[in-house]
Structure 1
Amino acid sequence: MARTAGFADPFWDEALAAGMHGLTLSRTGPDARFTTNGRELLNMSSYSYLGLDENPAILAAAGEQLLDSGMLNSSLSRVRVRLKALEEAEERLSSLFGADVGTVTSCAAGVWAMLPLLASGLLTNGVRPVVVFDRFAHFCLQSIRGLCAVETEVRTIGHNDMERLEDICKTNEVVVYVGDSVYSTGGTTAPMEKLIELQDRYGLYLFLDEAHSTSVLGKNGRGLALEAMGDINSRTILVTSLNKGFGASGGAIVFGPLSDRSRRARALRNGGPFMWSQRINTAGLGAIIASCKLHAGPDLPVLQSRLKTAITAFDANYPLASANPLSPVRFIPVGDERKTIRLSEALMDLGYYVEPDFFPVVAPKEAGLRIRMRANMSSSEIDLFIKTLKRVIPSVSGTPECEMQSMEASRR
């Protein structure tokens, strides 16, 4: 931790001083606009891929559930007392995903609850597995590596290096592969066809983060992995956000098939405060229930189509070699952390908030700008933003376009 802080702290402090971090706002406007310090900004880094965090039905359901329940929280462990709204939310999620789904306070909490259990062998018939991380696995997954290493052997492989993963499967009794389904900090998408093949051939366990895939992809917004699998199997665990594309609150763990709740029971007993102590509050549960209804209805395919249009419009005018057409996330590499902060600051001066990303979110000296598309983003907004982006990047970063393309290619 000290080494991480020693490298990263100066840049976090600089971003805070420049006003790129620590912004305060009281209320967002339509289409992810917000006002801070008297300036209206268009948020180009919003996680609300489908614009559902502003959906009137979801907002109303959050308030109604709070008033109906007469309490913000149950104030007791969910193991002992369950709110009716919690039960309904999880039943609706399970029906939507066609799997046994439980809720947690965040996607990261789901990782911290489940990944150590997998590493310990408690979910793999008592055999401690070799845990293999993809190089570009999200930071919330990577942050638990140390705890996994206390339990078992941990390895890292190159991004989507299925040949290396198969070699590990050949020489070890149980292997767990940890990665994203749709990557947001480098990388593309998980090679689901090959991963399913390795499951069939070697019994590989999968632990995948679906935070940037849920709602965006698949029937009913079930995400990339379940769309590829059809039905989840007993050797797969998914964690996801119910905030980002889903437009509600908290996170979810997809434990496995609906017919087998033994993994959920084991997690509730052994997942610590991430599972049995904290829970999503009543308003958040109301929002989840309303979003489930929306995801099961005719509006979701329309929103997914609009998001795809926005992604296509960006890529047509600002092509990036690493762009993944399935993902709403775009990363523009700059390299130098301070240049990245200055670039973000210049864009803010022109009316756009674009987050500067640097270590530990990405590797040292691989800093850059993260942009996210939304379904409620118009083509004219995208066009104007891209014109601004093209004007600002060379003048602020001082990095020739050809060099930036080379840096981007090195990340793939």
Structure 2
Amino acid sequence: MTTPADETRTKTVLGVIAEHTGYSLEELGEDAVLEDELGIDSLMREWVLADLETRFQLPKSLDREAATVGDIVAGVSALVATMDGIPPATMPDLPAAEGHAVGAASGVCAASGDGETTSDGDTTKPGETMKDFGPDGDADLFAKAARFADHRRRRETDQLYWYGMPSSGRLTGRGVYHDMQVGRSAEYLVFASNNYLGLANDPRVADAIADAARSFGATNTGSRIIGGTTELHLELERRLAEFKGRDACIVFPGGYSANLGTISALAGPADHVLSDSLNHMSLVDGAQLAGARRLSFAHNNMQALEQRLQQVAERPGGTLVAVDGVFSMHGDVCPLPELVELTRRYGARLLVDDAHSTGVLGSTGSGTAEHFGMKGEVDLEVGTMSKALAGVGGFVVGEAEVINYLRYYAHSYVFAATTPAPMVAGLIASLEILQKEPALLEGLWRNIRRLRDRLRADGFDLENSESAILPVVVGDEDVALRFGREVRARGMFCQTVVYPGVPIGQARLRISVGVEHTDADLDAAADIVRDSADAIGFDRSGVAA
């Protein structure tokens, strides 16, 4: 029999879910599937569960594998039933039919277990991840930093956290890094760089930067709109627009700021931003900064996207669908033809982030639209110039009147210092080389195929990678960190990606392939990954032995 207390508790749980996801209470049926139906990925689910644990003062963590809204309600009820009385829990102050979105959870779940040594000598706490050290409501805002410092020291003692190792000299297919944990420098095979076309090491690019520094000085010390625009900036924008086959281009100081500024300039509290559940954080943060109603949809699932579009179709305001062209931690490509068709049918606008597509996809390397034979058919295309184009900055291309609007309303353009003129000169040189030397793109794809085929032949799960990013899926975070440590010990430098880079349970090695890798480099990398997996007892189907 349902009691008034049960009804109040259920309403509170639904209110917390609505607060974090942007759904109204009426949209949160208990049978609704979190990811496939509602588009609530594991990161957003973590925010919800952590907040519920704090509000209800639960004695232990909720089930992180909860699949439906009803599973979360039942989990809270089960834990409350074990307590003396019902702890206080405040119902979020939500409009009855609208819901609203907020940022990260106000609480985090407690770290599991006491410090102990694992079977291979590690001293880390089992199950403890970076998600355990977010905002927690402590009166001292710095308290979480002290707790994380202990966690980081344990990881570094076990040589599991090695992020930020400094390099010296040029990084090609090989490079020298200083391992601060062991106090020595060594040469590694470099598979952690986004220098896909090797242009960061091209002497023509370096010469262009040096010549421009002598002509224009180190920088312009101003924003683009007031004193920071040079003739080089305008030339770069002209060339990028032409390269992408669009009317106009605006250059931002960075790719992250391009997404922040563009989304927050175009969308507001009365609008909707629909995001793929695996989007880059810059897209997520741009929607949050806009204050728009944010809804996610299951990764590359066009049925789920159409459900979202149907949900918002009757509501006032505009709708922006934002996706990655190439998903940065997964390497797969968005289904652009279906995205264009759906957004047009429902009157929405489409933004594609081509950070890892520019210089990689398409017959000339211009990105996702060219890859699908759809140049000019995406409303807005964002690019990052710190990867294949080997510089610093971001850009957006689209219709001229929209681009000009961004010049006055995108805060990360209006109020940010300009990209230095010497760097702009280097970017122009990189773009010229890419357009004149198709052999670079051909060589990159030859290398991608060689290493991808080797890793798949050895039984590794690379998901649906169709780019220069090869994800070796592991799953468990501790296993992935040990895997990365073994790879590094054998002389290969690649990224070990854990939360928040990927959701909990999707940890992986992220291998980036470049044109500068030789056949010997690629074969050695495949051998190292295979031997490292065997050394830690990793089942190549994705399950730790």
TM-score (normalizing by structure 2): 0.66
User: Whole-Å Cα distance in 2 between the matches of residues 370 and 346 of structure 1?
Assistant: 14
Question: 1:143 Cα deviation (Å)?
Answer: 3.2
3-state DSSP of counterpart to 1:296: helix
2:443 matched to which residue of 1?
A: 306
Correspondent of 2:218 among 72, 88, 94: 72
Is the alpha carbon distance of 1:11 and 1:108 closer, same or farther for their aligned partners in structure 2, counting shifts above 3 Å? farther
3-state DSSP of counterpart to 1:318: helix
Which letter does structure 2 place at the counterpart of 1:250?
G
Any idea what the Cα deviations from partners look like across 1:196-248, whole Å, max 9, x if unmatched?
Answer: 21233222211211111001112432101244364425x61121111211222
Correspondent of 2:520 among 376, 380, 405: 380
How do 1:274-353 and structure 2 match up within 5 A?
Answer: 274-297=413-436, 299=437, 301-319=438-456, 320-324=460-464, 326-353=466-493
Is the alpha carbon distance of 1:296 and 1:401 closer, same or farther for their aligned partners in structure 2, counting shifts above 3 Å? closer
How do 1:37-116 and structure 2 match up within 5 A?
Answer: 37-69=184-216, 71-81=217-227, 82-99=229-246, 100-116=248-264
Would you say the 8 A contact 2:331–2:466 is kept in 1?
no
User: Whole-Å Cα distance in 2 between the matches of residues 29 and 158 of structure 1?
Assistant: 37
Give the length in aligned residue pairs: 389
Further displaced range: 355-364 or 174-183 = 174-183
Correspondent of 2:340 among 196, 205, 208: 196
Is the alpha carbon distance of 1:153 and 1:93 closer, same or farther for their aligned partners in structure 2, counting shifts above 3 Å? same
Can you give the 5+ residue segments of structure 2 that lack an aligned partner in the other structure? 1-103, 109-129, 135-147, 179-183
Would you say the 8 A contact 1:32–1:46 is kept in 2?
no
User: Whole-Å Cα distance in 2 between the matches of residues 342 and 375 of structure 1?
Assistant: 28
Is the alpha carbon distance of 1:279 and 1:313 closer, same or farther for their aligned partners in structure 2, counting shifts above 3 Å? same
Question: 1:325 Cα deviation (Å)?
Answer: 5.4
User: Whole-Å Cα distance in 2 between the matches of residues 171 and 340 of structure 1?
Assistant: 38
Is residue 146 of structure 1 aligned with residue 288 of structure 2?
A: yes
Which letter does structure 1 place at the counterpart of 2:259?
V
- Root mean square deviation of aligned Cα: 2.5
Question: 1:171 Cα deviation (Å)?
Answer: 4.6
Is the alpha carbon distance of 1:191 and 1:12 closer, same or farther for their aligned partners in structure 2, counting shifts above 3 Å? farther
Which letter does structure 1 place at the counterpart of 2:261?
A
Which letter does structure 1 place at the counterpart of 2:512?
R
1:265 matched to which residue of 2?
A: 404
User: Whole-Å Cα distance in 2 between the matches of residues 21 and 78 of structure 1?
Assistant: 33
3-state DSSP of counterpart to 1:172: helix
User: Whole-Å Cα distance in 1 between the matches of residues 132 and 342 of structure 2?
Assistant: 40
Would you say the 8 A contact 2:189–2:521 is kept in 1?
no
Question: 1:34 Cα deviation (Å)?
Answer: 2.5
Question: 1:25 Cα deviation (Å)?
Answer: 2.2
Further displaced range: 25-34 or 35-44 = 25-34
Question: 1:333 Cα deviation (Å)?
Answer: 2.1
Is the alpha carbon distance of 1:354 and 1:325 closer, same or farther for their aligned partners in structure 2, counting shifts above 3 Å? closer
TM-score (normalizing by structure 1): 0.86
Question: 1:96 Cα deviation (Å)?
Answer: 1.6
User: Whole-Å Cα distance in 1 between the matches of residues 522 and 154 of structure 2?
Assistant: 28
Would you say the 8 A contact 1:107–1:250 is kept in 2?
yes
Which letter does structure 2 place at the counterpart of 1:40?
E
Any idea what the Cα deviations from partners look like across 1:81-130, whole Å, max 9, x if unmatched?
Answer: 22122122212212222221121121111011011123228xxxxxx432
3-state DSSP of counterpart to 2:326: coil
Question: 1:326 Cα deviation (Å)?
Answer: 2.8
Correspondent of 1:211 among 355, 368, 385: 355
Is the alpha carbon distance of 1:204 and 1:13 closer, same or farther for their aligned partners in structure 2, counting shifts above 3 Å? farther
1:136 matched to which residue of 2?
A: 278
Question: 1:137 Cα deviation (Å)?
Answer: 0.8
Which letter does structure 1 place at the counterpart of 2:452?
D
User: Whole-Å Cα distance in 2 between the matches of residues 219 and 405 of structure 1?
Assistant: 40
Which letter does structure 2 place at the counterpart of 1:6?
D
Which letter does structure 1 place at the counterpart of 2:417?
Q
| Percent of residue pairs bearing the same amino acid type | 21
More helix by proportion, 1 or 2?
Answer: 1
Which letter does structure 2 place at the counterpart of 1:385?
A
Is residue 248 of structure 1 aligned with residue 395 of structure 2?
A: no
Which letter does structure 1 place at the counterpart of 2:439?
V
Would you say the 8 A contact 2:257–2:412 is kept in 1?
no
User: Whole-Å Cα distance in 2 between the matches of residues 204 and 366 of structure 1?
Assistant: 31
Structure with more relative contact order (C-alpha pairs < 8 Å, separation 6 or more): 1
Question: 1:142 Cα deviation (Å)?
Answer: 2.4
Can you give the 5+ residue segments of structure 1 that lack an aligned partner in the other structure? 122-127, 407-412
Which letter does structure 2 place at the counterpart of 1:401?
R
